[in-house]
Amino acid sequence: MKQEFKNKKKVKFLIIFILFSFLVIPMANFVSAKSDPCNLKVSLINQDPYPAIPNSYVDIVFQVSGVQNPDCDGARFELIPAYPFSLDENDSMRVLNGATYTAENKNEWMISYKLRVDKDALDGNNSIEVHYTHGKSDPNVYYTKKFDIKIRDSRTTFDAVIQEISGNDVSIAIANVGKYTANSVVVRIPEQEYFMASGTNGQMVGNLESGDYTIVSFNILPKGNNFRNITKGITPIPQDSKKLKFDIYYTDNIGERRIVNMELPLNLVGNFSLQGRNFAGMKKNAESANSFWSKWYVWLILLIVLLLGYEFYNKYKRKIKTLVLHKKDFSEEIPDWVRNAKEKEKKK
Give the integer Cα–Cα distance in Å for 309 and 289: 26
Residues 142 and 168 in one domain: no
Residues 277 and 313 in one domain: no
For residue 292, is pLDDT > 80?
no
By residue count, the chain amounts to 348
**For residue 52, what pLDDT is reported?**
94
Domain count, the chain: 3
Residues 167 and 275 in one domain: yes
pTM to 2 decimal places: 0.55
Residues 253 and 332 in one domain: no
For residue 90, is pLDDT > 60?
yes
Residues 180 and 96 in one domain: no
Domain contains 318: yes
Domain contains 16: no
Greatest Cα pair distance in the chain? 189
> Cα(first)–Cα(last) distance of the chain, in Å?
189
The half-sphere exposure of 101 on its side-chain side, counting CA atoms within 13 A, is: 21
Which domain covers residue 201, as residue numbers?
158-283
Residues 134 and 231 in one domain: no
CATH number of the domain that residue 133 is part of: 2.60.40.10
For residue 10, is pLDDT > 80?
no
Task: Select from 151, 182, 207 the last residue of a domain.
Answer: 151
For residue 338, is pLDDT > 60?
no
**For residue 333, what pLDDT is reported?**
55
Residues 80 and 187 in one domain: no
Backbone phi, psi, residue 87, to 5°: -110, 135
| Rounded average pLDDT over 326-348 | 59
Backbone phi, psi, residue 38, to 5°: -120, 110
Domain contains 15: no
pLDDT per position as a tens digit, 105-126:
567 889 999 999 998 898 899 9
Residues 318 and 241 in one domain: no
Burial of 306 (0-12, 13-18, 19+ CB in 10 A): exposed
Domain contains 347: no
Give the integer Cα–Cα distance in Å for 23 and 20: 5
Helix, coil or strand: residue 244: strand
Domain contains 128: yes
Residues 124 and 142 in one domain: yes
Q: Which residues pair with 64 in a beta bridge?
A: 42, 109
Domain contains 169: yes
For residue 22, is pLDDT > 60?
no
Domain contains 90: yes
Residues 185 and 272 in one domain: yes
Domain contains 207: yes
Question: Does residue 45 contact residue 62 with C-beta atoms inside 8 Å?
Answer: yes
pLDDT per position as a tens digit, 135-149:
888 878 899 999 999
